[in-house]
Structure 1
């Protein structure tokens, strides 16, 4: 059984930042590591389900020509759209996984702190959707907490094991600490893009 919507509604009641994404050094550092792990400087079209209040989304928007983010909770979607207002090509929508996976292809899919809220069967379906919508040469980034979470049917290590088995892609990054694991898979063997445009100072 997936984590029910009421769980997230309780979290966002009277709290626009229930995980303290903006205050905690742990969260800021993890965001920096996430962005630094992306092998390309820019992406054409990216998707981030489970965007929460859009803190990571805002950072991703600066690296993407087009960004679509999604969350189950209406308040989270409202907050994410507020955060993304300065980026016309970035949008937050309400929806749940796996049923509301968007159409089209993406060259970046970010699965951050979302997998353990889904039961194993639903997560396997998400992995299939990732493979169907990932463009050739695209990247998948996943980052998850490793400790137990009340009300979550999976743990982070299981989430990443299923990703590794189900994606069958080339692993470009594997970073694990005591509290979280961060990994990147690519459709083709990938390294840091050395042909990035020269930025004018």
Structure 2
């Protein structure tokens, strides 16, 4: 998902309104310029560069939107499970990422969670729309669903958002505190915050 600035139309609409997002994607396949805007492309490049491992076996990306980040994950992962609430966004994402090792599904977290364990979980532009209780549940699910030595990557817009329930910093703090994972990398500027956590505290140079 893309970042949302305070005052944007998107920020005033309920995040769980599938009909709203479906209609929006019908009008414009890329309403937030995820494909063309330098901020978005730079954000994805920074986030993926922070992953401590070059390759992952099984990744989970809830809130995948139109699949721009999913497409990049597909080049690094043997299998990717990508969820979103919008049927139309998923249709666009399937066209964007035509790969048999990527599975798209209409679903949401933390009300639902996929089976099995993942060695990479990506939470992007999602956690601050959840309540504190939902964030806690999400972090608990991540802790249980992350394989040994797995990686959790979280990336969020840090400026004010009209209908966000918490700030990006608060969301990341909750993910860190409740999951009990070890911080291995952080990027922080005026626009965004990116955190990487793992059960494995070893540096990249010692394992690669």
Q: Structure 1 residue 20: deviation in Å?
A: 1.0
Assess, with a 3 A threshold, how the Cα gap between structure 1 residues 45 and 89 changes in structure 2: closer, same or farther.
Answer: same
Assess, with a 3 A threshold, how the Cα gap between structure 1 residues 145 and 7 changes in structure 2: closer, same or farther.
Answer: farther
Structure 2 residue aligned with 1:139: 151
Q: Structure 1 residue 88: deviation in Å?
A: 1.0
8 Å contact kept, 2:110–2:134: yes
Structure 2 residue aligned with 1:148: 160
Unmatched segments (≥5 aa) in structure 2: 1-13
Q: Structure 1 residue 28: deviation in Å?
A: 0.7
Paired residues for 1:118-129 under 5 Å: 118-129=130-141
8 Å contact kept, 2:22–2:89: no
Mapped partners of 1:194, 1:16: distance in 2: 43
Structure 1 residue aligned with 2:200: 188
Paired residues for 1:1-201 under 5 Å: 3-5=15-17, 6-85=19-98, 87-192=99-204
Mapped partners of 1:9, 1:127: distance in 2: 28
SS at match of 2:141: helix
| Structure 1, 10-19 or 131-140: larger mean CA deviation | 10-19
SS at match of 1:47: strand
CA-atom RMSD in angstroms? 1.6
Mapped partners of 1:17, 1:193: distance in 2: 38
Aligned length: 194
Q: Structure 1 residue 12: deviation in Å?
A: 2.4
Q: Structure 1 residue 194: deviation in Å?
A: 6.2
8 Å contact kept, 1:144–1:180: yes
Mapped partners of 2:96, 2:204: distance in 1: 28
Unmatched segments (≥5 aa) in structure 1: 197-201
TM-score (norm 2): 0.88
User: Hey, which bits of structure 1, 4+ residues long, moved more than 6 A?
Assistant: none
8 Å contact kept, 1:41–1:193: no
Q: Structure 1 residue 191: deviation in Å?
A: 2.1
Q: Structure 1 residue 190: deviation in Å?
A: 3.1
SS at match of 1:171: strand
